[in-house]
Amino acid sequence: GEDVEQSLFLSVREGDSSVINCTYTDSSSTYLYWYKQEPGAGLQLLTYIFSNMDMKQDQRLTVLLNKKDKHLSLRIADTQTGDSAIYFCAEIFSGGYNKLIFGAGTRLAVHP
Amino acid sequence: DGGITQSPKYLFRKEGQNVTLSCEQNLNHDAMYWYRQDPGQGLRLIYYSQIVNDFQKGDIAEGYSVSREKKESFPLTVTSAQKNPTAFYLCASSPTYASAPSQHFGDGTRLSIL
């Protein structure tokens, strides 16, 4: 079945690294995504990784993919208060029409 | 600037009333989607459309209807049959053929019951 799971809450100190974890079930997913949602706003695409990659780095963001364990993580280096938001992991449904399956989101709180 | 515009930002529905949420995109994307977001939950797909004049039910289509008469527009009607319509509604679009078929989102409409 289709399912994406994330822990619901993460609290970090400003300047530390944040690691948000996600597990997914569809081993045929070709792409996995991380989206950010600020209060009252839509989702903003942060980054994505193709399933044949293990890692992708984009400035402060590092995505790690473990296909064997179906585990995806997003690391934010030097976390700032502006990073406080909900982060959604999503996999693309292998059955077609570019359907995304979303996790419930991880609320990241950054404190001084 | 290209993007997706949802309106209104806030909407209130009376008992037995149908309401329509607007979604317009100028990204020239073929595919459009409607999602519902409830607190503490991920997004759930209501309807999607891959091309003009065609749309398909998603996971929670009951009580909702859509139309796709123009490429740019994909309005969602929340009918009186939807007994629990209070939620945040998000519209998205994506190119059908792309190296990484990511979806772009509007800023959402928050629907509440009066």
DSSP state of A28: T
Q: Retrieve residue B76's tokens.
A: 């969602």
pLDDT value of position B97: 65
* B108 contacts in chain A (CB < 8 Å): 40-42
Q: Which of residues 32-61 of A touch B (CB under 8 A)?
A: 33, 35, 40-45, 48, 50
Q: What percent of chain B has pLDDT over 90?
A: 75
* B31 contacts in chain A (CB < 8 Å): 97-98
Distances (CA, A) of A47 to A26, A42, A81, A97, B16: 19, 16, 20, 20, 42
H or E stretch at A13:
strand A9-13
Decide if B77 contacts B19 (C-beta within 8 A). Answer: yes
Mutate to test the interface with A, among B7, B23, B35, B103 (most CBs of A within 10 A): B103
* A100 contacts in chain B (CB < 8 Å): 43, 45, 103
Has residue B74 got a pLDDT over 60? Answer: yes
> A42, B107: Cβ pair inside 8 Å?
yes
How confident is residue A94, by pLDDT bands cut at 50, 70 and 90?
low
Residues in contact with B53: Cβ distance below 8 Å, sequence separation at least 6, in sequence order: B68, B69
Has residue A107 got a pLDDT over 60? Answer: yes
> A40, B104: Cβ pair inside 8 Å?
no
pLDDT value of position B99: 60
Length of chain A equals: 112
Mean of all residue pLDDT scores within chain B = 91
Has residue A1 got a pLDDT over 60? Answer: no
Has residue A100 got a pLDDT over 90? Answer: no
In tens, the pLDDT along A36-46 reads 999 889 999 99
Q: What percent of chain A has pLDDT over 90?
A: 72
Decide if B67 contacts B52 (C-beta within 8 A). Answer: no
**Could you give the CA distance from residue A96 to residue B4 in angstroms, rounded to a whole number?**
23
- Name the residue with tokens 């309106």: B7
Peptide bond connecting B8 to the previous residue in cis, omega within 30 degrees of 0: yes
CB contact B41 to A (< 8 Å): yes
- Cα dihedral angle (B61, B65, B69, B74), rounded to 10 degrees? -70
Has residue A2 got a pLDDT over 80? Answer: no
How confident is residue A92, by pLDDT bands cut at 50, 70 and 90?
confident
Has residue A26 got a pLDDT over 60? Answer: yes
Mean of all residue pLDDT scores within chain A = 91
C-alpha torsion sign, points A96, A99, A105, A110: positive
* B50 contacts in chain A (CB < 8 Å): 97
Of A8, A41, A99, the CB nearest to B45: A99
Instruction: Give the 3-state secondary structure of residue A71.
Output: strand
In terms of Cα–Cα distance, which of B114, B113, B34 is closest to B77? Answer: B34
CB contact A74 to B (< 8 Å): no
Burial of B39 (0-12, 13-18, 19+ CB in 10 A): exposed
CB contact B95 to A (< 8 Å): no
